[in-house]
Homo-oligomer: A and B are copies of this chain.
C-alpha cells in the first residue's frame, strides 16, 4: 500500500514538474561531484604542476617528481612535455585564457621547439635537463603528443609556427605509422604480422585535435574514418565483448600467443570514449552505442571482484598475463573509465551506467588522491597498498588526471544545467 502511494506520488510530481526524491539525490550528487572536480582540478592538481614542474633555469618541465613534488631526476621526456603543453593550452582553450596558464604552456613549447626535434624532424624520446639528446623513440607517440601540444598552443596563442609544426608533423606521422621505423624494432618485420590498437587509437584522438585547427576537412575525416574502422573492425570483438590490444592484420585473434590474448581494460575504455567523442561530433548514434557497450564490457571484464578497481593487464583466456605489474591498480585507467562513464551517463543515463559510475567514482576518489601532498598517487598494489608513491615519471605526468577532471567537470556542469530527467 505504502509503495503504491509512493509510486502515485512520484507520478504526480513528475506531472507537476516536481523532482522525485531519487532525482533530487542524483542532482545533489552531480552537484557535489562537480564541486569536487572543480576544487581538485583548479585548487590542487593544476597548482601542483604549476608549483613543481617549471624548470626556471633551463626551460621546459621537471616531471620526474617524487610524492612531495621534488624531482628525483631532471631528465626530460617528450611525452610529458607534449602532454603538459597540451594540458595548459587546453585549459586556456576551454576554460579561460589565464596568463599563468599561457606562461606554463609557453615554457614547455619553447623547450620543445628548441631541443626536442632531430635533424629529420623526428622528436627525441628523452633529453638531459639542458636539452642534450639521450634517446630516440621506438614508435610514434613522442610525435603525437607534440602534435596535440602544437594544435592547442597554436589555437590559444595564434602562433603560426606551432600550427605549421602541427600540420607537418601530422603529415609525417601518418606516413611513419605505416612502416616500422628502421632499426628501432626488435621484432623482425614480417615475421609475425600483428597490429596494435594503440596506434589507430592515438591517431583518432590526434586527428580530432587537428580538426580544431583546420576544421573537419575531407582529408581529416577520411583519416579519422580509417582509424575508427581499424579499432571497430579489427580490435573490438563483439562476439567476445572485448577489445584486443594486438590482432592479426585481418583482425583475427591470435589466442595462441600471450601478446594476442593481452588486454588492458583501462586502455580499451579510453578507446571507447575516443569513439564516443567521434560519435558526438558526427552525431552518429551507432558509434555512441558501440562505445557505450564497449565501456560496459570492459568494466565487467576488468573490474577486480575481490578488491575493487580496474585491473591493469589481463589475459583474455584467463592465462597468467606476463607483465609483473598486471594485477596492479593504476590511476590513469580510472581517469579514462570515469571520462567514459560520465559521457555514457550524459548520453544514456541508464541505471547500469549510474551503478558503474558510482562504483568507479567511489573506488577512485577513495584510493588515489594524496591527501598529504596533493595530486594523486598513481601506482597501487591489487589490494590498495601503495606500490610507487611518485607524482611524475616518463609516463605519469600532467595529463590523464587533469584531463579527466577538466572533461568530467564540463560534463557534470552540462548535466546540472540539463536538469537530469532520471
1/0 per position for A310-351, CB-CB distance to B under 8 A? 000000000110101111100000000000000000000000
Asked whether B186 lies within 8 Å of A324 as measured between CB atoms, the reply is no
Min CB distance A328 to B, Å, is: 6
1/0 per position for A131-164, CB-CB distance to B under 8 A? 0111111100000000000000000000000000
A257 at the interface (CB under 8 A from B): yes
Given contact pairs A134-B187, A326-B388, A327-B387, A192 touches B72 in the complex (Cβ within 8 A) = no
Given contact pairs A186-B184, A381-B381, A191 touches B324 in the complex (Cβ within 8 A) = no
Interface SS majority for chain A? loop
CA distance A379 to B188 in the complex (A): 30
Min CB distance A311 to B, Å, is: 13
Contacts of A74 in B (CB 8 A): 256
Contacts of A308 in B (CB 8 A): none
Min CB distance A79 to B, Å, is: 14
CA distance A324 to B385 in the complex (A): 13
Which one, B128, B188, B320, B324, contacts A72 given CB within 8 A? B320
CA distance A297 to B257 in the complex (A): 41
Asked whether B256 lies within 8 Å of A191 as measured between CB atoms, the reply is no
1/0 per position for A160-188, CB-CB distance to B under 8 A? 00000000000000000000001110111
Contacts of A191 in B (CB 8 A): 128, 132-135
Asked whether A187 lies within 8 Å of B135 as measured between CB atoms, the reply is yes
1/0 per position for A37-76, CB-CB distance to B under 8 A? 0000000000000000000000000001011000011110
Asked whether B328 lies within 8 Å of A324 as measured between CB atoms, the reply is yes
A389 at the interface (CB under 8 A from B): yes
CA distance A381 to B325 in the complex (A): 10
Asked whether A379 lies within 8 Å of B324 as measured between CB atoms, the reply is yes
Asked whether B73 lies within 8 Å of A256 as measured between CB atoms, the reply is yes
Min CB distance A253 to B, Å, is: 14
A125 at the interface (CB under 8 A from B): yes
Min CB distance A411 to B, Å, is: 31
A369 at the interface (CB under 8 A from B): no
Contacts of A72 in B (CB 8 A): 258, 319-320
Asked whether A320 lies within 8 Å of B389 as measured between CB atoms, the reply is yes
Asked whether B188 lies within 8 Å of A135 as measured between CB atoms, the reply is yes
Min CB distance A223 to B, Å, is: 28
Which one, B64, B135, B319, contacts A186 given CB within 8 A? B135
Asked whether B188 lies within 8 Å of A324 as measured between CB atoms, the reply is no
Asked whether B322 lies within 8 Å of A388 as measured between CB atoms, the reply is yes
A378: nearest chain-B partner, CB-CB: B324
Min CB distance A142 to B, Å, is: 12
Contacts of A258 in B (CB 8 A): 64, 72-73
Given contact pairs A75-B257, A134-B191, A134-B192, A390 touches B186 in the complex (Cβ within 8 A) = no
Asked whether B324 lies within 8 Å of A136 as measured between CB atoms, the reply is no
A393 at the interface (CB under 8 A from B): yes
Min CB distance A396 to B, Å, is: 10
Asked whether B324 lies within 8 Å of A128 as measured between CB atoms, the reply is no
1/0 per position for A184-200, CB-CB distance to B under 8 A? 10111001100000000
Name 30 A/B residue pairs within 8 A (Cβ), A-sorted: A64-B258, A67-B320, A72-B258, A73-B256, A73-B258, A74-B256, A125-B186, A128-B191, A132-B191, A133-B188, A133-B191, A134-B187, A134-B188, A134-B192, A135-B187, A135-B188, A136-B188, A137-B186, A183-B183, A320-B389, A322-B388, A322-B390, A322-B393, A324-B324, A324-B328, A324-B388, A325-B325, A327-B387, A381-B381, A381-B382
Known: A134-B191, A324-B325. 20 other contacts (CB 8 A): A66-B320, A72-B320, A73-B256, A73-B257, A74-B256, A125-B186, A133-B188, A134-B188, A135-B186, A135-B187, A135-B188, A135-B191, A136-B188, A183-B183, A183-B184, A320-B390, A324-B379, A325-B325, A326-B388, A327-B387
